[in-house]
Structure 1
Amino acid sequence: MASGYGYGGGPGRCFPFWQEVLACYVVNASAEDASGAKKCNPVLEDYYECLHHKKEAARVRALQDAYRKAEAASPRDHAPSAGQIRNLGLINKGEDSKQVIGS
């Protein structure tokens, strides 16, 4: 949260990352020369990831896409069609039921 406090009243979940960013800036940057702040980019990137979870979301999307692709590449053999599944147990649809059940 913007106030620095978490939902439970304690420090926010990203507060430790923010402390690392500040410590890096204190050590590497000065008022006259800001070139040392470039050393803090990895730490700042970690802080932004904690706030927004963009890398994590991209990783999850990539895994989901790979799973869907693998599922599409190997369809089930002899899977009943949607129409056969809808007709199971209905009156006058015994032929579809027999085909799906295998009786």
Structure 2
Amino acid sequence: MASGFGLNGGPSRCFAFWQELLGCYVVNASEGVDGKKKCIYALEDYSECLHHSKEIVRAKRLQAAYRKAEATFPRENAPKAEDIRNLGLLGKESESAKVLGL
């Protein structure tokens, strides 16, 4: 949190999490190390707000699961290479050749 101000001059997007973390530290400061352990969840929330690390991991896992499912169950009507080369003109290879100048 560099300045504490957001892009539009108001508080930054993570300011509420920062205040919660700071409040937790103040309340638990007299307890020493055990007080810091009580604030671990507030620290995780603040860190996630800043860096989105858990969100990124979750998105990568979702993408990997989607790719795995897609590889396991291929599309039934997927276009073939010759369909793509024929510019979508199915069964009209001669017209495709004219267009391509072959």
Shorter-normalised TM-score: what interval? 0.7 to 0.9
Tell me what 1:56 maps to. 55
Tell me what 1:22 maps to. 22
Tell me what 1:100 maps to. none
Structure 2 letter corresponding to 1:5: F
Aligned length: 93
TM-score (norm 2): 0.79
Equivalent positions of 1:53-92 (< 5 A) are 53-88=52-87, 89=89
Offset from partner CA, 1:25-74 (integer Å, 9 cap, x none): 111113x8343111101110110000000000110111111111111111
Runs of at least 5 residues in structure 2 that lack an aligned partner in the other structure: 97-102
For residues 74 and 14 of structure 1, the distance between their equivalents in structure 2, rounded to whole angstroms, comes to 42
Greater mean alpha carbon deviation, residues 73-82 or residues 12-21: 73-82
For residues 41 and 77 of structure 2, the distance between their equivalents in structure 1, rounded to whole angstroms, comes to 52
Percentage of identical aligned residues: 63
Question: Pairwise CA RMSD of aligned residues?
Answer: 2.3
For residues 47 and 71 of structure 1, the distance between their equivalents in structure 2, rounded to whole angstroms, comes to 36
